[in-house]
Structure 1
Amino acid sequence: KPVPAFQLERLETPGEMLTQADLKGEVSMINVWATWCPACKYEHPFLMMLARKNILPIYGVNYRDERAPAIRELSREGDPYTLNIFDKDGRLGLDLGVYGAPESFIVDHNGIIRFRYAGPVDSNVWSETLYPMIQQLQAEAKQDGV
C-alpha cells in the first residue's frame, strides 16, 4: 500500500511541514522510533552505520514522543535520518499500522510500502531480510529510469 497521506512537522523545525510527497523518488526506509523505546536505542548504532554508508535514505518517524528530548538524543547519539517527522500524537504511526517502536518499512521509488519489519534492525535482519529486498527494489527503480 502507499505511504499514508500525512502533513506533520519536521522534528527539528517546528512549523516546517512534511508530507508523503517528501518521501518519494527513491527506495527508502521509514524507521519509527522514540526516546522512550529501549530497542530503539539498541538499533541506533546500526542505523548510524547505515547512514554513513549512504545506501538509501532513512526517514525517521518520531513516534508519540516529546520534541526536546528527541532532538537532544539525536544531537548526543547522532542523527541517521534524512528527514525526521514529528508524530507526537501517533497519527502517522496509526495509519502505518505501527504496534510499537521500533518498526521499519521498506518503501519503493513510487512511494509504495513493500515490507514491514517490527523490532530493532541489526546486522542479521539487515543482511538476511532487508538488504536483499532493497537491492531488488533499487534494481527495479533503475529499470524504471529512476
Structure 2
Amino acid sequence: MNTPVPNGGARRDKARWLPLAVFAALAVLLAAGVWLSRNPDREKLPSPLIGKPAPHFSLPVLHEAGRLMSTQDLRGAPYLLNVWGSWCPACRDEHPVLTRFAETKRVRVVGFNWKDEHADALRWLEEFGNPYFVVVADYEGKAAIDWGIYGAPETFLVDAQGVVRWKFVGPLTDKVIRDELIPQLDRLGPAPRGQAR
C-alpha cells in the first residue's frame, strides 16, 4: 500500500502558482513605473543636489573630437544644463522653447546629450537647430547617474561657484521659464562683466 507523502500535493500546487505570482509581481512593478512616469507630481520631486556642488564630470564635446569638458571648465559663470537625446519625443517639444530662451543670453545653456549615438545627436541638432553654448555627450550614461538623471528632458541651473540651484524634470515651457527659472536667475545676481549669463 502506498503511503502518501504529507503535503506533497500542496507543494506541487505552490510550484504551479509560482510563475504566475512572479509575473503578477513584475506586472505591479511595471504598472507603478508607468504611473510614476505619467504622474505630473514626479516633476515636483525634490533633488538631493539642490544647494550642493554639481557632481563632477569630464565628458567629450559632441562637436569637437578629442576634446573633453568638465564641470570645472564651466565654473565662473552660471549655466543651465539641459539633458536631451535624439530618441526623446519630449525633447523635440521642448526644443523651440529652449531655443527662444537661449537667444536671450540670460545664461549659458549647456547641452547634456544622454545615451545617444554620436551621428544621431549631430543630425538632430542639424535638423532642429543648436541653441547650446556647448554640448557634452554622456554616451554610456555613467555621468548621469551621479546627477540623478532618470529621464529626458531634465534641466539643472548651476551657479558660478558650481552649486546646483534648481532642477526641473520634464520639458521646459514658457511658463516654467517665466515663473521658476527667471526668478532663480534673478537670485543669482548680475552676470560677471563680459560673460553671458
Q: Tell whether the structures are fold-level matches, with TM greater than 0.5.
A: yes
Q: How many residues align?
A: 142
1:114 aligns with 2:165: yes
**Structure of higher RCO (CA pairs closer than 8 Å, 6+ residues apart):** 1
Q: Percent identity?
A: 38
CA contact (8 A) 1:109 1:141 kept: no
Give the structure with the higher percent strand.
Answer: 1
CA distance in structure 2 between the aligned counterparts of 1:2 and 1:92, rounded to whole angstroms = 14
CA distance in structure 2 between the aligned counterparts of 1:15 and 1:23, rounded to whole angstroms = 18
Match in the other structure for 2:77 = 26
Name stretches of at least 5 consecutive residues in structure 1 with no aligned partner: none
List structure 1 runs of 4+ shifted beyond 2 angstroms: 138-142
SS in 2 for 1:98: coil
SS in 2 for 1:65: coil
Equivalence map 1:1-146=2 (5 Å): 1-139=52-190
CA contact (8 A) 2:77 2:191 kept: no
Name stretches of at least 5 consecutive residues in structure 2 with no aligned partner: 1-51
Q: Which has the larger radius of gyration?
A: 2
* TM-fit CA distance, 1:139: 4.3
Taking a change above 3 Å as real, the CA distance of residues 69 and 129 of structure 1, as seen in their structure-2 partners, is same
What TM-score, normalized to structure 2? 0.69
RMSD after superposition: 1.5
Give the structure with the higher percent helix.
Answer: 2
Q: Deviations over 1:18-76 (max 9, x none)?
A: 11112111121100000111111000001111121111100110001111010111111
